[in-house]
Chains A and B, each alone.
Chain A
Amino acid sequence: DTEVTQTPKHLVMGMTNKKSLKCEQHMGHRAMYWYKQKAKKPPELMFVYSYEKLSINESVPSRFSPECPNSSLLNLHLHALQPEDSALYLCASSLESGTPLGGYTFGSGTRLTVV
């Protein structure tokens, strides 16, 4: 298995809803990442987990809450989002943090719309 799998592929949620995005990989990668990508913009780093511990939080609002239950799973819990949070949320993984052998592998993303 050489993929990063994200679910759901599409999500529409109201500003008072609570939802979760899920990411899974079975490549034995020990670093996992959440990125946010707005239309016609590059991906922007949100969170980095290394060996299941949060190591970087790029000052993301607390309405985004990451969770890494084990080395294969990464969740992003969403609560009280704003319309401007609508974007493509990408999960990625790498064999290790630092300068990763084999680079970063991206999932196909969850397209989130906040109404």
Chain B
Amino acid sequence: GENVEQHPSTLSVQEGDSAVIKCTYSDSASNYFPWYKQELGKRPQLIIDIRSNVGEKKDQRIAVTLNKTAKHFSLHITETQPEDSAVYFCAASRAQKLVFGQGTRLTINP
């Protein structure tokens, strides 16, 4: 089955700097790659997603890149703000199964 690895597990950046989180997946048939932000005690919220027929997608300060050949995808957050502090999960989906990475705890230091 699908296996998703996510790095780093914790990330601390200064406010205003950029943050990058990377994920690799094992199943070449996976074709949908969402990123979720989860604040403590709350639901995962979709922040951006990308499909396998697209290499890059951007939404304001957030961007995701996908390299199908290497089977890895990355989340880029620019101009980080304190409210970006949360746990971020990448995921890969094939058919009806959504498999999550282990999560990255992002802390934005003022």
Q: Once A and B bind, how many residue pairs between them come within 8 Å at the CB atom?
A: 52
Taking CB as reference atom, which chain B residue is nearest A104? B98
Distance in Å: Cβ of A86 to nearest Cβ of chain B: 15
Inter-chain CA distance A50–B96, complex, in Å, is: 9
Inter-chain CA distance A105–B46, complex, in Å, is: 8
Q: How many residues of A contact B (CB 8 A)?
A: 25
Inside 8 A of A90's CB, which chain B residues have their CB?
43-44
Q: How many residues of B contact A (CB 8 A)?
A: 23
Q: Is the CB of A43 within 8 A of B100?
A: yes
Taking CB as reference atom, which chain B residue is nearest A106? B43
Inside 8 A of B93's CB, which chain A residues have their CB?
99-100
Q: A48-B97, A111-B41 are in contact. List 9 more A-B contacts (CB 8 A).
A: A43-B89, A45-B98, A48-B96, A90-B44, A98-B95, A99-B93, A103-B34, A104-B98, A106-B43
| Chain B positions near chain A (C-beta within 8 angstroms) | 31-32, 34, 36, 41-46, 49, 51, 89, 93, 95-103
- Top 3 A-B pairs ranked by shortest CB distance? A42-B100, A97-B96, A106-B43
